[in-house]
Structure 1
Amino acid sequence: MLAKLSQLPNGVRQYMLVTFNYWNFTLTDGALRMLVVLHFHQLGYSPLEIASLFLFYEFFGVVTNLIGGWLGARLGLNKTMNIGLFMQVIALLMLAVPSVNLTVIWVMFAQALSGIAKDLNKMSAKSAIKTLVPNDQQGALYKWIALLTGSKNALKGVGFFLGGTLLALIGFQGAVVLMACVLTVVFVCSLLWLDKDLGKAKNKVKFSQIFSKSRSINILSAARMFLFGARDVWFVIALPLYLGQVFGWDYVLVGSFLAVWVIGYGVVQSIAPGITGKVAGVVPDGLAAFAWASILALVTGAIALALQFNWYPEFTIVIGLMIFGAIFAINSSLHSYLIVSYAKGDGVSLDVGFYYMANAMGRLIGTLLSGAVYQLYGLSMCLWIAFVFIAMTTIISLWLPRSHTNPVSI
C-alpha cells in the first residue's frame, strides 16, 4: 500500500495527508463538543451555563482566523496545521484532570485553546487546496473544496456519536486521553510527511496585510458572517433546548437528531458541485450565490411563519430544518469554493484567514443571540432573526462578481 501511495503525484499525496489531518481533527472536535455538553450536564450545569463554556471557543476563532492567515503566509501552512494539531492535544490533556478540578475558568481556557487549534487547522487545510490545484482548473478546485468541506461536517456529526459512546464506555477522562493519543500519532505523521513550505508566501508578508484589500473577498466575507450567524442563532442553544423542553425529547434523541442533521449537511456539501451545475461543466459565480441565498431565505421565512402560528410544530421543526440544512449546505459549499477561487495564489492563507474570521464572527454573534433570544422570546423569534440575517446575505451577494460565460447554477 505504501508503495502505491509513493507512486502518486506529490500534489495528490499532499491533498490526502491534509485531508487525513483534517478528518482526524474534526472527529475529536465533534466528540469533544458532545463530551463537554453531556459531562457537564451530569455535573449539574444548566444548558445556558454549558453554552457559556463555548464562548471562548468561538471568540478565539475570530482572532485566530485573522492572525492565522498571516502566520500561514509567513511560516507555511504545514507549520500552522501542525501547531493546530499540537494545541488540540494540549487542550484535550487539560480536560483529563479529575472532575473536581474542572472549574468553569479551566474548561473555558481549554476550549479557547481548542478553538484556536480548530481554526488554525481549518484555515490551513482549505488554503492548502488552493496551492495544490492549478489556477486554470476551477472545476477541480470546486470539487476538492466541496469534498473536503462536506466530509468534515459529516465527520463532525460522527464525532457527536463518538463523544457520547466514549463517555458511556470509558468516561470523560478516558475519552479525552484516548483522543489525545490518536491526535499525537497524526501530529507525528504530519511532521514527517507534510511539505515544509506548503502555502508559504514568496514575498515577505506584513502584519498590516491581514485585512483583505480585495473587494470580492470583503463582500463574500460579509455575506458569510450573516449566513453563519443565521444558522447558529437557532442551532447552537435554542434548538437543543426547544427539543427537550417542548417536545420532551431525551438527551440521546436530541444528540442523535443534531448528529444526523450535521452528517446530512456534510453529505450535501460533498455533492454540491453536481447540484449546482458542475456535471454540466458550469462553475458557479456570484449570481449562483445570490440565487441559492434567496432560496434559503424563503425556506427560513416559511419555517418561522409556520412555527409562529404553531402549525404542526414537530413536523415543521424536523422536516423544515432538514430542508434548511440541505439548502444551507449548498450555500456554504458555494462560499467555500468562491473564497478559495478569489484568493491570491501567493499567500492564499491571508485571504482565507480573513474570510473565516468573518465566519467565526457570525458564529459568535449567533451563539450569543441564540441563548438570549430563546430565553426571552422563544425559537420562532430565533428563526425570524435567522431570516433577517439570510436576507442580508442575499442582498450582499448581489455585489459578488459574476461570470458572463456561465449561466446561473441552481
Structure 2
Amino acid sequence: MPEMQRLAPGLRQYALVTGNYWAFTLTDGALRMLVVLHFHQLGYSALQIAMLLLFYEIFGVVTNLVGGWLGARIGLNRTMNIGLGLQIAALALLAVPTAWLTVPLVMAAQALSGIAKDLNKMSAKSSVKLLVPDSAQGTLYRWVAALTGSKNALKGVGFFLGGVLLTVFGFRGAVLAMAGALLLVWICSLLLLMRDLGKAKYKPKFRDILSKSRAINILSAARLFLFGARDVWFVVALPVCLSASLGW
C-alpha cells in the first residue's frame, strides 16, 4: 500500500504524458498521410512529394542531437509543451487556401513538425523514468514498454486516420480538425503537467551534449548515419523507385 501511494502521483503524471504522446503520434502519422495523398491528388510526382517530407527527417535529427540538453536546461514539461505547440503551428500553416500551398511553405511546416515530433518523443520517454521511485524498477520497465511499444501501432493508426479525415473533411478541414484536437491536449498539458519535471539543478553547457566517453560518441555518430540512411531510403529512394518501376 505505501508503494502504491508513492506511485499514485507519478501514475497520474504518466497517464498525462502517455495521453499527450499518443495524441501527438496519431496526428503525426495522420499528417504524413494527408500530405502524401493530397499532393498526389494535386499531381505532384513521387520525387516532389518525397522532397516535401525531407525537412521533417532532417530537422528531427537535429532536434534529437540537442533535445536532451534543452530538456535538462528548461525542463521536460516545457520541451513537451513546445513540441505540441509547434505541431499545432505546423497544422495551422497547412490550413491556408490550396493556392498558397507552395513547396517552401509545406517544407517549412514539415520542418516544424519534425522538430515537434522529436521534442515530444524525447520528453515523453525521458520523463517516465523520473516518475517512478527507484524501488519500483519493475513498474518502470512496464511503463516504458507500454509507452514505446505503442508508438508504431499508433503511427499506423494515424496513417489510416489521415486517409479517413481527407476523405470526410478534405485537406484543409482535416488539418484544422487535428489542430483543434491537439489544442485541447496542449491546454490540458499546460495546466496539469508537473512544472519542474526533468529540470536539472545543474545547467549543462552546450558542449555537454557530447559524452566524455569516446566509445559512446562513436556509437552515437554511427547511429546518426544509420538513421540518416534509413530516412533517405524510405523517404526518397523507395517512393521514387516504386513510382518508376510500378507506376505508383
Normalising by structure 2, report the TM-score: 0.89
In 2, Cα distance between equivalents of 1:134 and 1:187:
27
Question: What SS class does the counterpart of residue 96 from structure 1 fall into?
Answer: coil
In 1, Cα distance between equivalents of 2:155 and 2:131:
25
TM-superposition CA deviations, 1:363-395 (whole Å, max 9, x none): xxxxxxxxxxxxxxxxxxxxxxxxxxxxxxxxx
TM-superposition CA deviations, 1:249-268 (whole Å, max 9, x none): x6xxxxxxxxxxxxxxxxxx
In 1, Cα distance between equivalents of 2:233 and 2:54:
16
Q: 1:214: Cα distance to partner?
A: 4.2
- 1:397 counterpart residue number: none
Unaligned runs of 5+ in 1: 1-5, 251-410
Number of matched pairs = 244
Partner letter of residue 182 of structure 2? L
- 1:32 counterpart residue number: 31
* 8 Å Cα contact 2:47-2:240 kept in structure 1: no
Question: What SS class does the counterpart of residue 236 from structure 1 fall into?
Answer: helix
Q: Which has the larger radius of gyration?
A: 1
- 1:169 counterpart residue number: 168
Q: 1:141: Cα distance to partner?
A: 3.3
TM-superposition CA deviations, 1:163-217 (whole Å, max 9, x none): 1111111100000000000000000000111000000002222222122324564
Structure 1, 9-18 or 239-248: larger mean CA deviation: 239-248
Identify the structure with bigger relative contact order (alpha carbons < 8 Å, sequence gap 6+).
2
Q: 1:19: Cα distance to partner?
A: 0.6
In 1, Cα distance between equivalents of 2:167 and 2:93:
20
After superposition, where does 1:9-28 map in structure 2 within 5 Å? 9-28=8-27
In 1, Cα distance between equivalents of 2:74 and 2:216:
23
Partner letter of residue 50 of structure 1? I
TM-superposition CA deviations, 1:244-289 (whole Å, max 9, x none): 65567x6xxxxxxxxxxxxxxxxxxxxxxxxxxxxxxxxxxxxxxx
Residue 194 (structure 2) pairs with residue 195 (structure 1)? yes
Partner letter of residue 220 of structure 2? S
Unaligned runs of 5+ in 2: none
- 2:56 counterpart residue number: 57
In 2, Cα distance between equivalents of 1:115 and 1:85:
11
After superposition, where does 1:305-324 map in structure 2 within 5 Å? none
In 1, Cα distance between equivalents of 2:160 and 2:121:
21
* 8 Å Cα contact 2:81-2:190 kept in structure 1: yes
Higher helix share: 2
1:138–1:7 Cα change, 3 Å:
closer
In 2, Cα distance between equivalents of 1:144 and 1:247:
43
Q: 1:234: Cα distance to partner?
A: 4.1
Structure 1, 108-117 or 206-215: larger mean CA deviation: 206-215
After superposition, where does 1:260-409 map in structure 2 within 5 Å? none
Q: CA RMSD of the aligned region, Å?
A: 2.4
Partner letter of residue 31 of structure 1? A
1:238–1:139 Cα change, 3 Å:
farther
Q: 1:108: Cα distance to partner?
A: 0.7
Deviation above 6 Å: which 4+ runs of structure 1?
Answer: none
- Identity, % of aligned positions: 72
TM-superposition CA deviations, 1:132-161 (whole Å, max 9, x none): 234465544333222211211110100100
